[in-house]
Structure 1
Amino acid sequence: MKYYIIAGEASGDLHGSNLIKALKVKDQTAEIRCWGGDLMQAAGGTLAKHYKEIAFMGFFEVILNLFTIFENIRFCKKDITEFHPDVVIFIDYSGFNLRIAKWAKKHNYTTNYYISPQIWASREGRIEKIKRDIDAMYVILPFEKEFYAKHEFPVHFVGHPLLDAIANRPNFNEQSFRSSHKLQNEKPIIALLPGSRKQEVRKMLSIMLSVVEDFPDYEFVIGGAPSLESEFYAPFLKNPNVSFLSNKTYDLLSIARAALVTSGTATLETAIFKVPQVVCYKANWLSYQIAKRIVTLDYISLVNLIMKKEVVKELIQGDLNTKNLKTELHKILDGSHRGKQLDSYVALEKTLGGQGASSKTAELIVANAS
């Protein structure tokens, strides 16, 4: 069968690549065309558009790029028509994907959604679009199944694909890694994960790096996103106690003592690696003011949302400053706060439902599309 997959950012590229591998096992005749990144292409998908060309963050940034967004929508519809897949698979990226889903359903394509849009966070009314335009939904967070049941839309809970992605990593040697990447052997590491889009990285890194002088016994290592060129990070590497690794997030988390993490998928990845963290978030002023009025959640990090309590400290907008960041980082480097986070991480992993998300999803997609 023929599959058309649309992912719009780095995390979608990761999960999409594992889904492609699983689809090729379940359907050995599979032809796959996709929007995604290098990982999806390496897994065997034919790349129609790279996510680097389509990733825009925040309401204000979206408005500035409306022409490009509409051009991408037109291209996507044309590309699907020419490929004529048996099933179109959407991975998160709701603003774009729900538009394409509406069109695809009208043109009688089978529509599957893997990794639900976060309609439980804001604009819950989008459930009506999903019920109208999506044939099958595969969710990865345990509370999402309850959410959709409330709206009388049955979904499949398949577990979280990060568990597979992390468990299937190749063997790792810390000393070899430190040596080959010129990290300081004697110092414990604080990982800095500032996000994957230029505008958020600029905001987050300047604040994260403001505490470096207060922790001279630690080496701060910036985890560079695969979507950004290494040269972009050069202005942030002026302090000799700050290092940089490009596209090595999992290796970095394997050896980190603690982490400062921009809200997003990375907060959950950090938790699965059992690294105590402080969650950071600061957006464009206009984007934040709009988001504050439509987001209905008590927390912004996946860790806290899944556990339904504050496991990790969240420093948001005005609260994200040098003083608060220094205080919270001290708490998770030593003492009771560190132990409590680590204990909660164990409970979190059990809640996520175990490994096998990609395989389960692929099996259901193939069965539903046959």
Structure 2
Amino acid sequence: MNPDGPVWISAGEASGDLHGAVLCRELKRRDSSLSIMGMGGPAMERAGCDVRYPMSLISLVGLTEVFAGLPRIIRLLGKLKRDFRRERPRAIILLDCPDFHFRVARMARKMGIPVYYYISPQLWAWRSGRAKFLRENVRDVFCILPFEKDFYAQYGMDVSYIGNPLVDEVPLDRLQGIDPEPERVGILPGSRNKEISTLLPEFTEVAKRLRERNPAVRFSLFRAPGMPVERLMEFWPEELPVDIVDPDDRYEGMRRCSFVLAASGTVSLELALVGTPSIIAYRLSKLTYLIGSMIVNVDFISLPNLIFGREVFPEMVQENATADALFGQALSWMEDSARLEAVREDLRQLRNMLGEPGAAGRAADIILKDLKELAHG
């Protein structure tokens, strides 16, 4: 360990970039001299991280897509190894993308660099045995869902439950003053090219049908960080009016929607905290889905449903992630405000289930304290 080296933070997805940015600020707030570098996106860069590699290098979906990108990933791992030898980081903090980051963790451990996993990978959902890898290669895992600490205890791990960072990031007090617009529907097609090319055509078809039923309906299309507007508009018809919502305005935009169609991911928990009813969709390649269906351990794909233990957000997965199925659910909500209000009532309970604010700060305190103890041997 090099006690004077930088901290390396590595994120591979849009949500990881946002969480990494908050953690970066909290670390710098506690030690203004700290140098932070790594892999991420625009949010981490704005937070003061020297982003050496864009997160798009590892933003892949599913097993088949990972196979296609394998040569690039192998080259990237080689570059990271050279960077770690040159920069001699005092710690490496990993977020999301366990298939890639587990390789980084193993590499760092062999080089004597302490590794921390900020926001537990969802091992409880599938391939649970990988918890043993974390036990052997990572100094601490930071959990943000209430049931995760008990999961890791089954593997002899005393992990840190810090609460959920979205409680800090979603400006709940400010959003309370925004009323949903009854005829505004949100479209959140995801943060990856594959998600967008798969789901946005289905969402677009739903939007066209809703507009035919009700000409007054309006649409908000949410752009993920790093995703060009032009890419989204490839799948959106020119004759259908739409408002583009940029990443910095997403929470206010979500709150204004009566309901949304969304790709599965962390955004489902953001939407739940904002209080916006959502229809969650996801579709993988046939091979990836076939393999995943044999090893997935959970009944739901969206975090709000997992936390509640029941389906609060309707889920349309694989062959059900079609315009026909999505339109049927969307129309039932549009024509029955009582159903929407019942979902909103459920969502009002969620904040108390996710712990107190300050998750990133608690993680920063634990990491810096542990590094100080390591340095003093």
- Which of the five TM-score ranges fits, normalised by the shorter chain? over 0.9
Q: Quote the offset at 1:21 in angstroms.
A: 0.4
Which secondary structure state, in structure 2, belongs to the residue aligned with residue 236 of structure 1?
coil
Which of 134, 138, 143 is 2:138 aligned to? 134
Which secondary structure state, in structure 2, belongs to the residue aligned with residue 49 of structure 1?
strand
Question: Given the alignment of the two structures, is residue 281 of structure 1 paired with residue 285 of structure 2, yes or no?
Answer: no
- Cα offsets for 1:311-361 (capped at 9, x unmatched): 111011111223321221133343443222112212221111121111111
- Which amino acid in the other structure matches residue 136 of structure 1? D
Q: Quote the offset at 1:41 in angstroms.
A: 1.1
Question: Given the alignment of the two structures, is residue 253 of structure 1 paired with residue 257 of structure 2, yes or no?
Answer: no
- Which amino acid in the other structure matches residue 84 of structure 2? I
Of 132-141 and 329-338, more deviation after overlay is shown by 329-338
Give the number of equivalent residue pairs: 361
Question: Given the alignment of the two structures, is residue 24 of structure 1 paired with residue 23 of structure 2, yes or no?
Answer: no
Which secondary structure state, in structure 2, belongs to the residue aligned with residue 289 of structure 1?
helix
CA distance in 1, matches of 2:107, 2:121: 17
**Structure 1: runs of 5 or more not aligned:** 176-185
CA distance in 1, matches of 2:34, 2:76: 25
What residue in structure 2 maps to residue 98 of structure 1? 102
**Structure 2: runs of 5 or more not aligned:** 373-377
Contact 1:27 1:366 in 2 (8 A): no
CA distance in 2, matches of 1:354, 1:276: 23
Q: Percent identity, aligned pairs only? A: 31
CA distance in 1, matches of 2:278, 2:79: 40
What TM-score, normalized by structure 1, do the two folds share? Answer: 0.92
- Which amino acid in the other structure matches residue 85 of structure 2? T
What TM-score, normalized by structure 2, do the two folds share? Answer: 0.90
What residue in structure 1 maps to residue 343 of structure 2? 341
- Which amino acid in the other structure matches residue 340 of structure 2? R
Contact 1:276 1:341 in 2 (8 A): yes
What residue in structure 1 maps to residue 163 of structure 2? 159
Contact 1:220 1:243 in 2 (8 A): yes
Which secondary structure state, in structure 2, belongs to the residue aligned with residue 344 of structure 1?
helix
Which secondary structure state, in structure 2, belongs to the residue aligned with residue 48 of structure 1?
strand
Runs of 4 or more consecutive aligned structure 1 residues displaced over 6 Å after TM superposition: 168-175
CA distance in 2, matches of 1:12, 1:69: 18
CA distance in 1, matches of 2:230, 2:178: 26
What residue in structure 1 maps to residue 292 of structure 2? 291
CA distance in 2, matches of 1:47, 1:235: 29
Which of 74, 79, 86 is 2:90 aligned to? 86
Of 159-168 and 29-38, more deviation after overlay is shown by 159-168
- Which amino acid in the other structure matches residue 75 of structure 1? K
Which secondary structure state, in structure 2, belongs to the residue aligned with residue 101 of structure 1?
helix
- Cα offsets for 1:256-299 (capped at 9, x unmatched): 11101111011111111100111111122222122212212100
Of 325-334 and 155-164, more deviation after overlay is shown by 325-334
- 1:225-236 aligned at under 5 Å gives the runs 225-236=224-235
CA distance in 1, matches of 2:172, 2:322: 37
What residue in structure 2 maps to residue 356 of structure 1? 358
- Cα offsets for 1:21-60 (capped at 9, x unmatched): 0001112221111211111111111111011222111111
Contact 1:224 1:244 in 2 (8 A): yes
What residue in structure 2 maps to residue 178 of structure 1? none
CA distance in 1, matches of 2:119, 2:252: 25
Root mean square deviation of aligned Cα: 2.1
CA distance in 2, matches of 1:187, 1:342: 13
What residue in structure 2 maps to residue 180 of structure 1? none
